[in-house]
Amino acid sequence: MVVEQVTIKSQSGWLKKTLWISLIVFVILLILVGVFLAGIFMNKPKKNITITNPLTDIIFSNTNQAGQTNRQAVIDQAVLEFNESYINYLLVALGAGHLHKSIIYGNPVIEFSLDQDTWNAEIKGSDLVTQRGTTDKKDLSISISKQDAVEAILSNDIEQFMRDLVSKDRIQMEMIASKLELGSKGYLAMYKEVTGEDAPIEE
Residues 141 and 169 in one domain: yes
On whether both 97 and 185 belong to a single domain, the answer is yes
Confidence at residue 37, expressed as pLDDT on a 0 to 100 scale:
57
The one-letter code for the residue type at 51 is I
Name every residue whose Cβ is closer than 8 Å to that of residue 155 and which is 6 or more positions away in sequence: 161
Nearest CA to 36 among 140, 175, 138, 185? 185
Are 127 and 32 in a shared domain? no
**Do 116 and 183 reside in the same domain of the chain?**
yes
Within a domain: residue 2? no
Residue 203 belongs to some domain of the structure: no
Assigned domain for 90 exists:
yes
Range of weakest confidence among 37-46, 118-127, 164-173, 189-198: 37-46
pLDDT given at position 2? 53
50 found inside a domain: no
pLDDT-derived band at 190, boundaries 50, 70, 90: confident
Quick check: 133 and 119 in contact, CB under 8 A? yes
Tell me, what's the pLDDT at 89? 92
Look at residue 102 and tell me if it is in a domain: yes
CA–CA dist 55, 64 (Å, integer): 16
Q: How far apart are CA 99 and CA 184, in angstroms?
A: 9
Same domain, 160 and 114: yes
pTM, two decimal places: 0.74
Burial of 49 (0-12, 13-18, 19+ CB in 10 A): middle
179 and 157, same structural domain? yes
Averaged pLDDT of the chain:
83
- Work out how many domains the chain is built from and give that number: 2
Measured CA distances, 1 to 4, 73, 185 (Å): 10, 113, 77
pLDDT tens-digit series, residues 132-164: 999 999 999 999 999 999 999 999 888 889 888
Look up the CATH number of the domain holding residue 91. 3.30.1050
Distance CA(130)–CA(118), nearest Å, equals 11
Tens-place pLDDT, residues 79-119:
999 999 999 999 988 888 889 999 889 999 999 999 989 99
Question: Do 180 and 120 share a domain, yes or no?
Answer: yes
Are residues 29 and 117 located together in one domain of the fold?
no
On the question of pLDDT at 38 being above 80, the answer is no
In this structure, is residue 21 part of a structural domain?
Answer: yes
The answer to whether residues 93 and 139 belong to one domain is: yes
Contact status, residue 194 vs residue 117, Cβ threshold 8 Å: no
Tell whether 17 and 114 lie within a shared domain: no
* Model pLDDT, residue 36: 54
Q: Is residue 202, in this structure, part of any structural domain at all? A: no
| Spatial strand order in the sheet of 117-124 | 127-132, 117-124, 109-114, 140-143, 172-175
How many angstroms separate the CA atoms of 166 and 32, rounded? 36
DSSP string, 36-102: HHHHHHS-PPPP------TTHHHHHHTB-TTS-B-HHHHHHHHHHT--HHHHHHHHHHHTGGG---B
Residues 24 and 84 in one domain: no
pLDDT of residue 98: 87
Range of the domain at 33: 13-42
- Residue 140 · residue 110 · CB < 8 Å: yes
77 and 176 share one domain: yes
For residue 48, tell me if it sits in a domain: no
Give the per-residue pLDDT at 24: 83
Cβ contact 201:175 at 8 Å: yes
